Chain A
Amino acid sequence: MTTTQDRIDRAPLPGAAELARRSNLGVQLLRFLMLNFTMYRLAKSSH
């Protein structure tokens, strides 16, 4: 039986580009604006 731990051990790791994207200030500033907008829209459309 494959355990969760086996699956973790075989899971793909993020590549260099993804790691750079996660901490790149320019990209993250853009994502910050997008995320805030998405959250606002979701909260407003919910009820």
Chain B
Amino acid sequence: MARVVVLGAGVSGHTAALYLKKRLGRDHEVIVVSPGSKWNWIPSNIWVGVGKMGADKVVFPLAPIYRRKRIEFHQAKAVALYPDGDAHNPRGQVEIVYTDPTRVGTTERLGYDYLINATGPQLNFAATPGLGPDAGNTVSVCTPSHAVGAAKRLAEVITTLKAGIPQTLVVGVGHGTCTCEGAAFEYAFNVEQELQGAGVRDKAEVIYLTNEHELGDFGVGGMTFNSGGARVTSEAWMESLFRERRMKAITQAAVTRIDPGVINYTQIDGTENTQKFDFAMLLPPFRGVGLKAFDRTGAEITDTIFAPSGFMRVDADYTAKPFDEWTAEDWPKTYQNPTYANMFGVGIAFAPPHAISRPYATPGGLAVAPAPPRTGMPSGAMGKVVAMTIADMILKGALAPTHHASMGEMAAACIASTGTGLRRGTAAAMSMSPIVPDNARYPDTNGRDPRTTTGEIGLAAHWVKRVLHTMFLYKAKAYPFWYLIPE
């Protein structure tokens, strides 16, 4: 009997665990280790953050689903890997610390034959002084509880606006190396619609503050797509949308410090600026969750397995090269760790080989360089292909990975809701293929397939976003035929 341990029960880890169990059946063990007791459909946190959806609608408890699927669940966080085992046993082990209230703080080592690291990001609020809802001066929508806090603060600001006092709302990213600009953009437009709905839009200034070089970059170098039969850049598309909704934007900015009511940021040309705010939702930069690794003698080998960012090294080409020499081919295909063939890193947890957007820096060397996003669709796909590979290794004795999903080939769809409501809702739907531009394959269209790189705005896109919410929750709850819903 083989044992597969999956670290993390987010989009990629949960997907991997469900497919593994489906393929492996009762003859093999699938164990999930995750510190939270609940699964969170993170994209819908945006709606929680404007008070349009309750936090209970975006989460569900994991234990009953894993019980039903015969997946063993440990509510714990992984802290260290021992891929060669220890002095007594050469089997790989992972050290976990329980967060489960019944045995909180207890440490255990779990042996494994295969390990999937799907631990996602550590929300690195500490990277910018004053950033974040706990020790800082800004709100966040990264977790359901953060989003509830954001909605509460937004309601207070709306009350102040109703009293006739002008307010400034800033939404964006809180560091020069942040990713997930799409989520910040989406939240900005939902906030704007909320203000309109409350009848206080005229008294409010809404500013989108970003490290992107231009609007519509989204950390993927922007795109040129078909929109209503014409070829249009995502930059021009966004500029039009911003004008339509009377939103302001500050681009090319690295936020350096947030004092109460004041954001300090430096722009690419080195100018240091400040922006006053009454409400600010700024996303944090991400890093790995800080797993350590040790060999059999107890010597630390963290640097062998993890990149300096804390993300896991996989089958990517990490050779340092100038930006213009990087290609789609450098991106991982199998997510297998190059040192340990039984370890894989998926979703946000794998170390990307390079930026997709051109990285910039201020004259003083401060990075203004969006990190590459690893959104839900590719994260789920990675979880699935790694589960299929491991199942083939266990069931068929495959020696090498049998399934591939490279971001240099995969498509991504981003539906950024820009307002809710069955009749009044609206969203910007963008799809691009591939995620990492492949200039060799598509030399004339900025590395992307013009047939599948598209954008449109409308009510339909909002409906799709709402349907996706229901479908992905259905799939994540592993209801009948869940596997027919694509990642």
Contacts and interface: CB of A to CB of B under 8 A. Distances in A.
Given A11-B242, A38-B454, A39-B464, A47 B250 contact: no
B385 interface: yes
Given A36-B467, A43-B377, A14 B240 contact: yes
Contacts of B456: 31, 35
Given A13-B243, A42-B433, A36 B464 contact: yes
A30 B236 CA distance: 26
Chain B, interface SS category: mixed
B292 interface: no
Given A4-B250, A11-B239, A31 B215 contact: no
A34 B411 CA distance: 17
B248 interface: yes
B459 A22 contact: yes
Interface stretch (B5-13, B280-288, B323-331, B402-410): B402-410
A8 B242 contact: yes
Contacts of B228: 18
A7 B381 contact: no
Interface residues of A, number: 32
Contact of B239 (A8, A18, A38): A8
Interface in B70-86: none
Given A9-B243, A11-B239, A32-B464, A46 B459 contact: no
Given A5-B248, A13-B244, A42 B413 contact: yes
B452 interface: yes
Contacts of A29: 460
Given A4-B249, A5-B248, A39-B464, A12 B486 contact: no
Contacts, number: 101
B251 A4 contact: yes
Contact of B486 (A18, A23, A44): A44
Given A46-B381, A47-B405, A11 B243 contact: yes
Contact of A46 (B243, B249, B405): B405
Contact of A8 (B243, B413, B454): B243
Nearest to A47: B405
B486 A43 contact: yes
Nearest to B452: A42
A4 B385 contact: no
B95 interface: no
A13 B464 contact: no
A42 B244 contact: no
Contact of A45 (B214, B215, B411): B411
Contacts of B457: 22
B431 interface: yes
Contact of A40 (B244, B248, B378, B486): B486
23 contacts: A4-B215, A4-B251, A9-B243, A12-B240, A22-B458, A23-B458, A28-B458, A28-B463, A31-B461, A35-B429, A35-B461, A38-B452, A39-B413, A39-B468, A42-B411, A42-B413, A42-B431, A42-B452, A43-B381, A43-B486, A46-B409, A47-B384, A47-B405
A-B residue pairs, 6 tightest by C-beta: A43-B486, A47-B405, A31-B460, A11-B239, A22-B458, A32-B460
